[in-house]
Amino acid sequence: MNRSEFAARIDHTVLGPETRPSDVERVVDEAEAHGMNACIPPCYVAAAREQAPDLTIATVVGFPHGQHATIAKREEAATAWRDGADELDVVINVGRLHAGEDGEVRDELAEIVAAVPIPVKVIIETALLSREEKHRACKLARDADAAFVKTSTGFADGGATVEDVELMAEYLPVKASGGVGSYEEAMAMFDAGAERIGASSGVALVEGFPADE
């Protein structure tokens, strides 16, 4: 993997509750300058698309807790797509998964996937799940025709781990997100089977790429 290929697998991210338009503008500029993608709040997608017509833009749905009504998640997904999003990161309803309501979880995800013609990544929030629940969540995402599974929102204790990425990669391509702050940590996730990294430190990751690789 060369530096350009590495950068293209990084979703440079800003999703905090105090995110301002200027923060998104900066992240979009940095993503373009370094050959990354951007992951931003849904309210800023239309402006970001106007700012960067050719940039791959991801946004979030049902973020960060996943407990919105299904119709709200579906409409949020469709609105984000119409505003110009290329990919959606949808938060699973962890409470329903804990309760064993697997059919409801799968059906909600399938409804969102069917509502848009763009890839949907399912955030399973690994820090809140047992190993058995991680397997179930990934299977449900696969059964719903999701394109990816993603480790974390970044708002629960804990983030991406090599062990979780290895487990999740048995089912779908993985986006490792949460706590990946260096080139070395990113490579550990790629070596474990991740296809994409989500990180607010995207610039540091790309700039940490060794000059001789």
Give the catalytic positions in this structure. Answer: 89, 150, 175
User: Which residue stretches of the chain are H helix?
Assistant: 3-7, 21-34, 45-51, 70-83, 94-98, 102-115, 131-143, 162-168, 183-192, 202-207
- On whether the CB atoms of residues 28 and 50 are closer than 8 A, the answer is no
45: Cβ–Cβ under 8 A, 6 or more apart, which residues? 57, 59, 80, 83, 84, 85
CA Rg value for the chain: 16
Half-sphere exposure of 23 (CA within 13 A, CB side): 15
What is the 8-class DSSP label of residue 134?
A: H
The neighbour count for residue 133, using CB atoms within 10 Å, is 17
d(CA 24, CA 44): 7
16: three-class secondary structure by DSSP:
coil
Half-sphere exposure of 190 (CA within 13 A, CB side): 17
